[in-house]
Structures are given as structure tokens and as C-alpha cells.
Amino acid sequence: MYRHNKNQIRVRYFISTSLTGLVLLIAALSPFMSHAQEDISLPTLGDATSGVISLQQEKSLGQYWLKSLRRQVKTFDDPVVNQYLNDLVYRLIPNSELSDRSVQTIIVDSAQLNAFAVPGGIVGINAGLFLYANNEQEFSSVLAHELAHLSQRHFARSVERQQNNTPLALAGLLASIVIGAAAGPDAGLAVLAGSQALSVQNQLSYSRQNEQEADRIGINTLYQSGFDPYAMPAMFERMLQQSRLQGEAPPEYLSTHPVTESRVADTRNRAEQYPKVAVPDSLDFYEMKARVIIHYANSPNQAVNQFQQAVKNSTGNEQIVQQYALAAAYIDAGNPGKATPLAEALTQKYPHNLIYRELYGAALLAEKKLASAEEHLKTSLNFSPKNYPLQVLLARTYETQNRLIEAQSVLKVLTKENPQRPDLWYQLAEVNGLAGDIIDLYRARAEYFYLLGNFEKAQENLRLAIKRNGDRYPLNTVLQSRMDSITREKKENRF
């Protein structure tokens, strides 16, 4: 398993390529800024045809940026944790002020505290947010805040405000997020400080206005979604304490979202305007947190020892969480025989809980009880046929059994339903290769590299697919069409 002490691999390369991307981005943004000098009014929010940058242009920028991020930092691809985050975001979205409710989520593989919203409907977090939040309420407060940034189009407003130096300001802003995720807060701040066209004082002042608005709207989103509005000031208060403890090296999130005593007080006052609500604690959040703790443990055995003690020292719901965590730690440590009875007991006690069902399936698969794993996963999918983690696990079970056609079938459905997930295309490419379907191997690899923004390798794989296919119609038309599409995007992309 990828460990925390490897997180800084390729950091220097990331910084170099991000700085290069910053310069190239200035050229990429010029079509979006052509009218910046003529119209200094704020865009009409929600109107895709007004303002300096339309909603469609924001979406294009966001997709370009997302490819750049994936290319330069490692993502946290645990299907269970990603499904949890996605479900939680989509629980908040109906109660947000977003006009376009199509949102993508991404988790950066970093134990540092960070979260960000990128124009075009992208909400990202570092896996470390699970470690810093005490409960699901606090975790959700950060997501609600980021959704508010998107709904109020603070990016477009910043473009209007920075009209005379917008390209460099925007390049610095987006590049700092990439570098901050890769190398930590100091590098991200260095990029912002090094962008000579930025007025730091003005940018910070305006940022605080955006933050206040996002706090207000985020608290309302929290309450309307059934969460405790007091969770936001509670989270901010602990962030403030964290920034004081870390002195000159606060988490990246606190560099881009400054937290002050007045801001904590303001959010507390806003929360007091809502009725007191009793919100039940979510075990799911603590179980996701446990998966992240296991991921960043110094060793698998350390995680096992930690959760063995936690099981002994806990009762009730807390003990249920610790049993889940211990089973997951046993699987990670290569000891699934001890995980299986724990996971089975949880599944029997809570038969409709898909998180426990996935854990039991993973334990059976790791123990090479393949027939049992297959039967269990198929039964579990009857509860939720499109459950992403269960489908991924079923595909791996088929692959382990060398039933490659069935594995391909599951993965093709998954990539159709989740076309923006590079890890799925990578897994499909591997299975296609094992099955001897070389054209499909090249096609899946092309999509994988495309989502990482490596257009050259995507084109290379499509060329290989076209060459192998020859002039056989209609696949040659499909392949050439995809090649043309990627070639056009490569010309437009400057990240």
C-alpha cells in the first residue's frame, strides 16, 4: 500500500512542470479575457452568456485543470472512500445554490489538510481532511463551503476584479493548488508570492469577502441537508488552533481559506440563527477515516496493533467502527484469515450495509475464497446494482479467476457510467491485455492517458489501435474520430 512517507516523490518535478504550466496558461486564457477591459461589471450569476467567463468556459477550464492535477499528483483511488465522498457531496448539492448540479469529486493522496473548488464543478479534498475532521458534520461543513464558492462563481468574480492582470493572477491561483497538493503549503504560497502581477493585499481582502459569503451560504446548505450548522464554527475553531500550533507553516487550506477569531465568531453567530437540531452520528464517516488512517500508517502491523487496542477499549457503536477498522487493517497487512470472521459478523448483523458487504467481499477475495466472494458480491449487488465499490471488487474477483470476458463486461459498464475515472480505464486496459484484446487494450490506455492530460501517449495508443485494426469498418471510423477529438483538445489545452 502507498505510504505517507512516499508522498513527496517527484515534488521537484511537480513544481517545475506546474511553473511551466503557469506560463503556458497565460496564453490559454487569452480567449476568455478578450473583453475584460471593456466590461468591468460582475457577471450575472447563472447566466452562461454574460460576464467575462461563461459557465461553459469555466467547465472547459476546470476539465483542463483536472487533467493537469491528475498528471502531477497522486490521487487517492480507494473506491469505498470515493463513493462515500461522492454520495455526501450529492446529498448537499440539492440544498446548495448551484445552477449546474453536475459536480465531479477528486481526492488527492496527501495527509495534509486541504479542500478546493475549481470552476467548472470540481470539488476536491486531500485525504487528510478525513484525519482533521472530528465527525461527518465537520467534514460536511468544508464541502458545503466549497460548493458555495462554486454556486457564487467566485472564480468569475475574481476575473472581473483582476481585469488588468487576470491571466497571471489566475495562473498563479490554479498552479498554487496543484503545487500545494503535491509539495505542501510552502510551495503553493511561493508560487502566489512569485506572481509579480498579483496584489497580495487586495487579493486577500477580496478573498475574505468571498469566504464570508461562502460561509453564510454553506451554513444554510448544511442545515437544509440535515446537518448541524454549528459544525462549521466548530471546524473553523479547531483549524484556528491548528494554525497557531503550526506557526509559519499552516496547512494549505488555511493559506487559501484564512481563519480568524472574528470569522469563527461570525459563523457561530450565523449558526445561532438556526434551530437546534439533534443529528445522529454517522458510523460511515469514522469507517472512512479508519481506511485513511490505515493508508497512512507507518506499517500495516502498526495499524493492526492500533485497532486491536481500540477494539478492546471501546463499546457500542464505537466498537463496531473499530471492528470494521481492524478487519480492514488485517486485509492490508496480508492476514485476511483474521479479517473474514470480523467482516462476516458485521455483515450478518447489518445485512443491508453495503460498506460492510464490500469489506466482507474484499476479505473473501484476499483469502482466495473466490467462489464465496463471487456469490457474496452478486447477492450484495441485488441491493444496489450500480454500487461502484462492489462492481470494482466483482471485476477483480473475475480477473483473479481468469474469467476475463466477465471481468471485461463489468469494467466496460463501469467505464461507461464513470468515464472520468482513470483508475477504471487502467484496470480495464490490464484485463484487455490479459484477454488478448489488443485493440481494446490500446483504446483503454488512450482513455487513461487522456484523463491524465498526457495527450501524446493517448494519441500514440490510438495510432497503434488504428494500425492494428486496419480498414475494418466501422471501428476504424470510431478510432479515427476519437483521435481527431483528442488532437483538437491537445491544440486548445495549454496547461
- DSSP-assigned letter for residue 50: S
Taking residue 99's Cβ as centre, other Cβ atoms within 10 Å add up to: 13
Tell the burial category of 173 from Cβ atoms under 10 Å away from its Cβ (0-12, 13-18, 19+).
buried
Q: Give residue 286's pLDDT.
A: 98
CA distance 461 to 452: 14
Over range 177-199, report the average pLDDT: 44
Q: Is residue 278 part of a domain?
A: no
Contact 217, 229 (CB under 8 A): no
Q: Give residue 265's pLDDT.
A: 93
Same domain, 384 and 345: yes
List Cα–Cα distances, 280 to 135, 136, 224, 352, in angstroms: 11, 10, 15, 19
pTM: 0.84
Domain extent at residue 353: 285-492
CATH of the domain at 332: 1.25.40.10
Q: Give residue 401's pLDDT.
A: 98
Q: Is 145 annotated as a binding residue?
A: yes
Residue 1 has pLDDT above 90, yes or no: no
CA-based nearest residue to 92, from 149, 48, 134? 149
Same domain, 259 and 386: no
Residue 155 has pLDDT above 80, yes or no: no
Q: Is 211 annotated as a binding residue?
A: yes
Total domains in the chain come to: 2
Over range 165-172, report the average pLDDT: 49
Place of cell 453567530: 269
Q: Is residue 276 part of a domain?
A: no
- DSSP-assigned letter for residue 43: P
Q: Is residue 246 part of a domain?
A: yes
Q: Give residue 313's pLDDT.
A: 98
Same domain, 301 and 189: no
Q: Give residue 57's pLDDT.
A: 77
Which of 138, 160, 215, 358 does the annotation list as catalytic?
215
Q: Give residue 277's pLDDT.
A: 83
Work out the mean pLDDT of the chain and round it to a whole number.
83
Same domain, 86 and 208: yes
Percent of the chain with pLDDT over 90: 61
Of the given ranges (46-55, 71-80, 113-122, 308-317), which has the lowest mean pLDDT? 46-55
Same domain, 199 and 342: no
- DSSP-assigned letter for residue 117: E
Same domain, 315 and 383: yes
Band the pLDDT of 252: cuts 50, 70, 90: low
Q: Give residue 250's pLDDT.
A: 57
Q: Is residue 126 part of a domain?
A: yes
Q: Give residue 151's pLDDT.
A: 83
pLDDT tens digit string along 32-87?
A: 444 333 333 333 333 433 456 677 777 888 888 899 889 888 999 999 999 999 99
Same domain, 165 and 25: yes
Residue 102 has pLDDT above 60, yes or no: yes
Q: Give residue 99's pLDDT.
A: 85
Over range 201-205, report the average pLDDT: 41
Q: Is residue 71 part of a domain?
A: yes
| Selected residue with higher pLDDT from 387 and 1 | 387
Q: Which of 208, 236, 271 is the last residue of a domain?
A: 271
Q: Which of 222, 244, 271 is the last residue of a domain?
A: 271
Cell numbers linked to 195: 506572481
- DSSP-assigned letter for residue 115: E
Same domain, 229 and 344: no
Band the pLDDT of 91: cuts 50, 70, 90: very high
Same domain, 42 and 11: yes
Q: Give residue 157's pLDDT.
A: 60
Q: Give residue 39's pLDDT.
A: 35
Same domain, 305 and 350: yes
Residue 143 has pLDDT above 80, yes or no: yes
pLDDT tens digit string along 347-378?
A: 999 999 999 999 999 999 999 999 999 999 99
Q: Give residue 60's pLDDT.
A: 82
Over range 167-189, report the average pLDDT: 50
Q: Give residue 187's pLDDT.
A: 43
Residue 192 has pLDDT above 70, yes or no: no
Q: Which of 206, 238, 271 is the last residue of a domain?
A: 271
Same domain, 153 and 224: yes
Ramachandran angles phi, psi of 356, nearest 5°: -70, -35
Q: Is residue 279 part of a domain?
A: no
Q: Give residue 297's pLDDT.
A: 98
Of the given ranges (203-217, 409-423, 429-443), which has the lowest mean pLDDT? 203-217
Which of 146, 252, 287, 399 does the annotation list as catalytic?
146
Same domain, 310 and 240: no
Q: Give residue 256's pLDDT.
A: 63
- DSSP-assigned letter for residue 282: P
CA distance 439 to 67: 24
Residue 492 has pLDDT above 90, yes or no: no
- DSSP, collapsed to helix, strand or coil, labels residue 104 as strand
Q: Is residue 153 part of a domain?
A: yes
CA distance 188 to 371: 49
Whether 146 is a known active-site residue: answer yes
Q: Is residue 280 part of a domain?
A: no
Residue 110 has pLDDT above 60, yes or no: yes
| Selected residue with higher pLDDT from 407 and 173 | 407
Q: Is 257 annotated as a binding residue?
A: no
Residue 16 has pLDDT above 90, yes or no: no
Cell numbers linked to 434: 490479459
| Selected residue with higher pLDDT from 93 and 71 | 93
Cell numbers linked to 374: 463471487
List Cα–Cα distances, 237 to 149, 271, 321, 430, 466, in angstroms: 20, 14, 26, 47, 57
| Selected residue with higher pLDDT from 84 and 262 | 84
